[in-house]
Every structure is written in structure tokens, then in C-alpha cells.
Amino acid sequence: MLAPRLRLLVTGLTAVAALAFPAPGVAPPSAGAVATAVAGPASVTLEGRGYGHGRGMSQYGAQGAASEHGRTYREILDFYYPGLTRGSAGGRIRVLLTGDTTDDVVVGARPGLTVKSLGSGKVFPLDQDGARRWRITPVDGGSRSRVSVLVDRWQVVREVSGGAQFGAGGRPITLVTPTGATRYRGVLRSAPAGSGRDTVNVLPLDSYLRGVVPQEVPALWHPEAVRAQAVAARTYAAHERRTTDRGHFDVWDTTASQVYGGRSAEHPASSAAVRATRREVLLHEDAPAFTQFSSSNGGWTVAGDLPYLVAQQDPWDPWPGNPNRRWTTTIRATAIERAYPAIGDFRGLRVLRRDGNGAWNGRVLRIRIVGSRDSRAVDGATFRVVFGLRSTWFRQV
């Protein structure tokens, strides 16, 4: 039930009669009293299910399948991505490190460190006594790279053509950014990007997975659930590498692709899952599939644009250990009015269309926000993002 912020003082025929025929000796009510209008609720409370877009694998569903029902990782994957075949993928992947917001690349000194010119292909050892850090800086509009060392102060060591990258013979390198230091496998590349440079981590696909899987699910979950995540994440990365054209990188290190924390994020248990599923991917028409996944689907998967992303009831997601199987949240009317000022005072919500799957007739596809001056119809995904909801599967309570 919605709590009104303001009650109507004088309404309907009673107000009209009072104005037209006041009682003897009683002054008619003021015009201001008649003009007072009913305002909307102070807030709305929503009850919801799931967390995320709901397409493909539910991560909590995979954990429920393994821990509560004894399912193997392949059984889990076959349920969430029906009709796919198995194959293998390897090679290297280029990861944009979004946390390094400067044009230079700064790394900690370590034995075996080298710098390679991307213009000439030449490799130079970096073994100066007393070195604390090394840096690549673009010069001449990015056509060359300057290599400097920090001992007691920064000193220029050499300049090379094109971009450049640090390597350490496969051993981890510590990247220093404005927000801290993170260790990475592979090489750290100062990659030309428009008028500036981006920092890109280039490494083998399965090495990349070791820094992804524990960021996406708890490493100490049931091993079969973690293995399912490893295959889904490997397939997702291989699909993005194959189908996108981002120039100097293949994937982001954020939820724009998959969360990646480098060597610093690795855990022995999740690394074991990566090894146990080495190179394994899911294929659609002999190519890596678009294996989307989310935290929880609330009990129903959501159909995507591909034949293996289907809408179906999920018996594994709503288990007691899933904190996202049910949730409630309250949105203040003032927050709605700030987000959509043209509506005036917020009066209410009206769901226009749902997907038809599960309780309450499923997820919200279209919703109308009603105000005193205007209303605004938006899709459910937009409403979810604007107000920080866990999913689009919700109803008003």
C-alpha cells in the first residue's frame, strides 16, 4: 500500500457545495484550500528475483546444481547452453587495463625485465643497478617510445620506434597505476590509441582465465561450479576475440567484458578449475559461442538473440544459499523525480509489458512512470539501471 505524502483537504461535490451554498454565519473556504491536490507516494517498495540480465548460466544456479544436486560442470553447461558442442581454444588475448588512466606505463623493477620496440621488434634488457621502477612514455606524437628508469630520479635510458612493451620471460610484472600496484602475467604493452596510449596486458588465454574466474565466482565454491565458470568465461573471451574489432585490444578488464584482476587476483582453487578444463570451450557452428552468464536468474533464464540462449525454468537457481533468489528495495519518490524531472510530482508506476515467464508474469519489459505533469515509458532494463535494481524481475508491493 502506498503511503500518501499529502491528503486532499477539500474534494469533489462537497467542496463545490461549500463554495456555492455556505452555511449561515460560516465563511466559505478559501480558494487555496480547494486547489490543494493529492500528491503521490513518498516511496515505492519493489519485490524482486535474481541479479543480472538472466541470460545463459546462472552462477548461483551452477553452485546449487553442483552442491545441492551433484551435477557435473558439463551437465551444468549443457542445461544453460543447450545444443552446443565442445571444442578447444588457445592462443593469446589482449586485455585493456582500464585502471591505468595515464599515457605512460610504469612497472616495478625485477630480474629478467626487458623492453621490446613494437616498431623494430628489437628487445633490450633492463638490468640497471639500483633501479626501482621503469617507465614507457610516448614521444613525437606517439610515433616513438621513451624508456626511463627511476633510481633516485627518473633518467632516460633510450628511445625506440612505435609503441613498446615490458616483458619478463613469462614471469609476473607489477604494474604501477594512480590507484595502486597489480601483478600481471604476460607482457604489459604501451599501445598507441588515437592521440594517446593505452596499457594492454597480452598473455595466453588460460593465463588470463586464472585472473578472471575468481573475480566472477568465489574460488572455494564447489569445484564443478567453478569449472563451469571457467569454461563459460573461456568461451566468452574466445568469442569476443573472434567477433569484435577493437583495434589494439580484445577485451576489457571490467564487466564490459569480464572482470579480470591479473596475477594478483589468482586463487589456487580457481586455477585448478582452469587447468582441469584446459582449453575447453563451447561451440556454435564450429565457433566459440556467446556464453553470457549472470549472478542469478531468479528461477527462469531469459531468452537471448541466439538459439542456445533460451528461456526456461531453472530448478537450481532458487536454492537456500542464493541470496539473490528474493530481494526487496525501496525507491524514494524524490529519486524518481530527480531522474525524470519532466513528470513533476511522482504519482505511481504502471507495468506495461512483461516477458510472460514465471511469477508475476515474468520480467518487466516496459514500465510507465506517472507524474502530475507528464508520464514517461521506459524499458525495464533502463529502469533497472537508473535505480540500481538487481534485475528486471520485480513487482510493486
**Tens digit of pLDDT for each residue in 344-374?**
999 999 999 999 999 999 999 999 999 999 9
Confidence check: pLDDT of 206 > 60 = yes
Q: First-to-last CA distance in the chain?
A: 7
Helix or strand run (H / E) with residue 332: strand 327-332
Confidence check: pLDDT of 39 > 80 = no
**Tens digit of pLDDT for each residue in 275-288?**
999 999 999 999 99
Question: Residue 54: what pLDDT?
Answer: 98
Question: Which three three-digit cell numbers place residue 240?
Answer: 569476443
Question: Residue 195: what pLDDT?
Answer: 77
Q: Do residues 93 and 208 lie in contact, with contact meaning Cβ atoms separated by under 8 Å?
A: yes
Confidence check: pLDDT of 183 > 70 = yes
Q: In what order do the strands lie in the sheet with 280-284?
A: 85-88, 280-284, 287-288
CA distance 252 to 378: 28
CA distance 324 to 37: 39
**Tens digit of pLDDT for each residue in 156-182?**
999 999 999 999 998 999 999 988 999
Confidence check: pLDDT of 28 > 50 = no
**Rg for the chain (alpha carbons), in Å?**
29
Question: Residue 150: what pLDDT?
Answer: 97
**Tens digit of pLDDT for each residue in 332-342?**
999 999 999 99
Q: In what order do the strands lie in the sheet with 364-371?
A: 346-354, 364-371, 375-379
Q: Is the pTM of this model over 0.85?
A: yes
Q: Which of 2-16, 128-142, 260-274, 350-364 has the lowest mean pLDDT?
A: 2-16
- 3-state DSSP call for residue 256? coil
Helix or strand run (H / E) with residue 149: strand 144-150
**Tens digit of pLDDT for each residue in 80-134?**
999 999 999 999 999 999 999 999 999 999 999 999 999 999 999 999 999 999 9
Question: Residue 142: what pLDDT?
Answer: 86
Q: Do residues 204 and 136 lie in contact, with contact meaning Cβ atoms separated by under 8 Å?
A: no
Alpha helices (H) in the chain, listed in sequence order: 12-20, 31-35, 59-69, 73-80, 205-216, 223-243, 268-276, 333-339, 380-387
CA distance 205 to 91: 6
